[in-house]
């Protein structure tokens, strides 16, 4: 069998990176396949912290699999084609390992799919390693732990599954870290926004969702001070408008999430602001509104937007 590329979604976050790295390790170790973890973009600061902490070289960035001479791929932490590699429709998808909704997805051939409503794709990879009888080395366990911490905000997000705390405990033990101490350090590493341009800020963790025919960009940034981010509202909005014009998004929704207080501010622009307001039962004032208790794009924002856009 030729080489298989394993990757998470575009604008890779820590879970996308870790789950791809971990699943590629399983493909090689448990099943003897020639699998390589790659990224569909440069790692963010949080992910870079985890890679450095556990002594892992960042996987190389790939924009097109076909030019690599590869035609078989495995997707982790995503399944929607608009979030995947540029030539995804020309490739054979061998497997999907994900914890998100399934949408805009079809293949010509049968495939392995492992979809579970847990806190992270990394959680799924870890359980698969136990089922396969594979003992993970420290660096793989450390990255999987980082993916779980990142996606669940250290097990505080409503996306946290009942099984995730035990997964985190076991991974922390293998990785040789204190869960709370390492988790806080990891999350804080991803809140350094001052050095980023507005264009970089709105693209740190952004995904496009087709909502009733509308391409809606939903981005999220984590911070410890929402007001500090809103001080840059004018330049952030300019970047959002430019992105909408360039990429033909109908709407752009930015979650500014306070990881300490577990709340978010929603900053939104576009053609369907009435639907955004209806989704969250609030009124946008100067294009933004407070959304108490919201920390999860997957569970608390996208489903409500989907319902509103479909009504």
Across the range 183-201, mean pLDDT stands at 91
Question: Tell me, what's the pLDDT at 224?
Answer: 86
Please give the C-alpha separations between residue 160 and each of 165, 207, 239, in angstroms, as whole numbers.
8, 20, 32
Cβ-based neighbours of 195, under 8 Å, separated by 6 or more:
none
Query: Any idea where the domains of the chain sit in the sequence?
Result: 4-190, 198-310
Enter the DSSP assignment of 221. E
Query: Sign of the CA dihedral 24, 30, 32, 33?
Result: negative
Look at residue 144 and tell me whether its pLDDT is greater than 90.
Answer: yes
Average pLDDT over residues 212-234: 95
99 is in an annotated binding site: yes
Q: Which of 135-144, 194-203, 228-237, 241-250 has the least mean pLDDT?
A: 194-203
Query: By the 8 A CB rule, do 78 and 100 touch?
Result: yes
What is this structure's pTM? Answer: 0.81
pLDDT for 226 equals 94
Q: Domain 198-310 is classified in which CATH homologous superfamily? A: DHHA2 domain (3.10.310.20)
Position 180 scores a pLDDT of 95
Distances (CA, A) of 65 to 35, 43, 73: 13, 19, 8
Packing angle, helices 302-310 and 273-280, rounded to 10: 120
> What's the mean pLDDT in 210-233?
95
Selected from 3.90.1640.10, 3.40.50.2000, 3.40.30.10, 3.40.50.300, the CATH number assigned to the domain covering 4-190 reads 3.90.1640.10
CB–CB of 99/118 below 8 Å? yes
For residue 194, name the pLDDT band (cuts at 50, 70, 90).
confident
Among 294, 233, 296, which residue's Cα sits nearest to residue 269? Answer: 233
Residues in the chain: 311
User: Which of 103-107, 176-180, 230-234, 289-293 shows the lowest per-residue confidence on average (mean pLDDT)?
Assistant: 103-107
Q: What is the pLDDT averaged over residues 217-230?
A: 94
> Is 151 among the annotated ligand-binding positions?
yes
Residue whose tokens read 């001070």: 225
Query: Annotated binding residue at 9?
Result: yes
> Do 256 and 223 contact (CB within 8 A), yes or no?
yes
Map tokens 């556990």 to a residue: 54
What is the tens place of the pLDDT at every residue in 79-138?
A: 999 999 999 999 999 999 999 999 888 888 999 999 999 999 999 999 999 999 999 999
Q: Do domains 4-190 and 198-310 have the same CATH topology?
A: no
pLDDT of residue 44: 92
Cα 264 from Cα 258, distance rounded (Å): 6
* Residue 17 clears pLDDT 90, i.e. is over it: yes
Q: What does pLDDT average to over the chain?
A: 95
Q: Is 77 annotated as a binding residue?
A: yes
Q: For position 5, what pLDDT does the model report?
A: 98
> Residue 272 and residue 252: Cα distance in Å, rounded?
10
Residue pair 24/77 in contact by the 8 Å Cβ criterion: no
Mean pLDDT of 128-152: 97
d(CA 54, CA 71): 31
DSSP summary character for residue 203: T
Q: What is the 3-state secondary structure (H, E, C) of 66-112?
A: HHHCCCEEEEECCCCHHHCCCCHHHCEEEEEEECCCCCCCCCCCCCE
Residue 251's Cα: distance from chain center in Å?
20
Q: 1-13: per-residue pLDDT in tens?
A: 589 999 999 999 9
3-state secondary structure at position 56: coil
pLDDT of res. 1: 59
Least confidently predicted of 59-63, 100-104, 305-309: 100-104
What percentage of the chain has pLDDT greater than the value 90? Answer: 89
Strands 288-291 and 251-258, sheet pairing: unpaired
């Amino acid at each position: 069998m030729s080489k298989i590329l394993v990757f998470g979604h575009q604008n890779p976050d820590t879970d996308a990176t870790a789950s791809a790295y971990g699943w590629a390790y399983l493909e090689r170790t448990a099943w003897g396949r020639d699998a390589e973890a790659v990224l569909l973009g440069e790692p963010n600061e949080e992910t870079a912290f985890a890679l450095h902490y556990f002594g892992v070289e960042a996987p190389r960035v790939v924009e097109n699999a076909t030019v690599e001479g590869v035609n078989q791929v495995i997707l982790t932490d995503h399944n929607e084609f608009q979030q995947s590699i540029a030539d995804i429709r020309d490739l054979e998808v061998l497997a999907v390992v994900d914890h998100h909704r399934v949408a805009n997805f079809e293949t010509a051939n049968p495939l392995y799919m492992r979809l579970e409503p847990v806190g992270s794709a990394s959680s799924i990879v870890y359980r698969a390693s136990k089922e396969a009888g594979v003992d993970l080395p420290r660096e793989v366990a450390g990255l999987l732990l980082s993916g779980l911490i990142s996606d669940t905000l250290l097990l505080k997000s409503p996306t946290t599954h009942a099984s995730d705390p035990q997964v985190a405990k076991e991974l922390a033990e293998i990785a040789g870290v204190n869960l709370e101490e390492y988790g806080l350090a990891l999350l804080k590493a991803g809140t350094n926004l001052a050095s980023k341009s507005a264009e970089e800020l709105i693209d740190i963790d952004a995904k496009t969702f087709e909502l009733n025919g509308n391409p809606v960009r939903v981005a999220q940034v984590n911070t410890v001070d929402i007001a500090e981010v809103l001080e840059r509202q004018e330049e952030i909005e300019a970047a959002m408008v430019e992105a909408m014009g360039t990429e033909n998004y109908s709407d752009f929704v930015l979650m500014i999430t306070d990881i300490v207080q577990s709340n978010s501010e929603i900053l939104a622009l576009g053609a369907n602001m009435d639907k955004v307001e209806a989704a969250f039962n609030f009124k946008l004032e100067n294009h933004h509104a407070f959304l108490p208790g919201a920390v999860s794009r997957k569970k608390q924002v996208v489903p409500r937007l989907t319902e509103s856009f479909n009504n």
